[in-house]
Each structure stands twice: as C-alpha cells, then as structure tokens.
C-alpha cells in the first residue's frame, strides 16, 4: 500500500465519520479501522487529530475556493453584470460542481462547514480564516457591490443570515427532506432546494434596498 493510499484512505474515512457524528464523537480508532489502516498511521502522517481535522477541510476547501475564484474571474472578465442572484448561483453551482466532479458528496461538506462553525474547535476556525479568508472577503465584496446603497453593517448581518440559512439547511438536508417527503409525498432534490434557496436568500439580502 503506497503512502498516498494510506493518507487518502484515512481522509476518506475521517471525512465521512466527522460529517456524521462530529469531531469529538469520532475516535481515531473508528477512523483507522474504517479505513483499514493502523491506528498509529494518523499520528505518523498527520501529527495529531487536530491536524487531521484541518487536512480534511483543506482537501475540499482548496479546490472549492479555487474553482470559485476561477468562476468569478471568468464572469468579471466577460464583463457580465454580477447580480445578487447571479453571485449566489455561482456560489452554489461551484459548490456542487467542484465536489461532485471528484465523485464526492456536496452536502457532506455542508455538514462539515456547519460543524466548523458550531463545534468547539478554536484551531479549526483560525485555520479556515487564515487560509481561506481572502476568498470569503472577495465574494462578500462582490456581493456588496451588487447591493449599492445598503448600509455596510446591515449588509454584513444579512450576509450572516444568508450563510446561516444555507449552511444550516444544507447540512441537515437529508433530515429535512425526509420529513417533507413523508408529510407531502413530494421529494425535493438538492438542485431543486438550491433553486428555492437562491431567490429566498436574494430577497433577504435585497429587501428595502435599491
């Protein structure tokens, strides 16, 4: 078994288990037996559990922010007008696309993002902000430009409202979808849900502005 095999097997198992149960609730022994590798391999390759957690986030956030930057570059270069709806669509489409093309589950990453915000892991928040803060600020800046005349403080609060609606809903997508399917017999696919989310989030951002 080559090194990359062991490393990525650990990352694959950790990604799934962390998203399912959280970080503290997932032991290294569960991860390594799921991955079919030795317990000590985690500390050997990653150093510690904290660094493994960061590596899991790095593996999906780096391609994601890269693809988002490319998408924004493309639209800016093409001289397209960046509307609120257009920016949200870009964000969600890149989120679905850049991960789906690796054959991995987009909503698993939403769960991980939600955990990054809610779990008690100071190192994770610091890691993400220092590594991906620029991507976040660029997107926020473009979104603010699409909402001229809006008070900055109000804009940022609404940005957090929007992030909350997105992360919260998509990270519990399976559970919510199951409830609605049982109550109304109408299944909602993830793309359909995002099509519902875009206008709703845009309306929240735009209310009483312009």
Partner DNA sequence: GGCCATACTAAACAACCGTTTTAAATGTTG
Partner DNA sequence: CAACATTTAAAACGGTTGTTTAGTATGGCC
User: Of 68, 109, 158, 190, which lies in the binding site for a second copy, with binding defined by CB under 8 A?
Assistant: 158
Q: Tell me the C-alpha to C-alpha distance, in Å, between residue 58 and each of 34, 112, 115, 136, 146.
A: 21, 12, 15, 15, 29
36 vs 141 by CB, closer to DNA: 36
Structure tokens, 45 = 């390759």
Alpha helical stretches, state H, 119-172:
122-145, 152-171
Residue 28's SS3 state is helix
53 binds a second copy (CB under 8 A): no
In the block, tokens 């990054």 appear at 116
Contact 191, 131 (CB under 8 A): no
Q: Where along the sequence are the contacts to DNA (CB under 7 A)?
A: 1-3, 5-7, 26-30, 37-45, 48-50
Which among 44-52, 76-84, 94-102, 162-170 is the span making contact with a second copy, rule CB under 8 A? 162-170
Choosing from 52, 61, 114, 127, the residue that interacts with a second copy (CB under 8 A) is 114
Residues engaged in binding a second copy (CB under 8 A): 20-22, 24-25, 114-115, 117-120, 152-154, 156-158, 160-169, 171-172, 176, 179-180, 183-184, 186, 188, 193, 196-197, 199-201, 203-208
């Amino acid at each position: 078994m080559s090194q990359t095999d062991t490393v990525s097997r650990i990352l694959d198992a950790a990604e799934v288990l962390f998203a399912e149960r959280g970080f503290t609730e997932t032991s290294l022994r569960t991860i390594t037996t799921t991955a079919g590798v030795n317990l000590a391999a985690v500390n050997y390759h990653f150093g510690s559990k904290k660094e493994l957690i960061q590596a899991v986030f790095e593996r999906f956030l780096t391609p994601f922010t890269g693809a988002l930057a490319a998408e924004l570059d493309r639209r800016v270069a093409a001289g397209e007008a960046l509307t609120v709806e257009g920016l949200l669509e870009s964000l969600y489409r890149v989120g679905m696309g850049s991960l789906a093309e690796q054959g991995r589950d987009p909503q698993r990453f939403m769960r991980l993002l939600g955990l990054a915000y809610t779990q008690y892991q100071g190192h994770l928040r610091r890691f993400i902000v220092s590594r991906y803060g620029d991507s976040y600020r660029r997107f926020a800046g473009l979104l603010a430009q699409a909402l001229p005349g809006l008070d900055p403080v109000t804009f940022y609060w609404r940005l957090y409202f929007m992030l909350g609606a997105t992360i919260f809903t998509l990270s519990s997508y399976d559970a919510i979808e199951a409830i609605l399917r049982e109550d109304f017999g109408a299944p909602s696919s993830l793309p359909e849900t995002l099509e519902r989310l875009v206008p709703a989030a845009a309306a929240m951002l735009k209310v009483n502005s312009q």
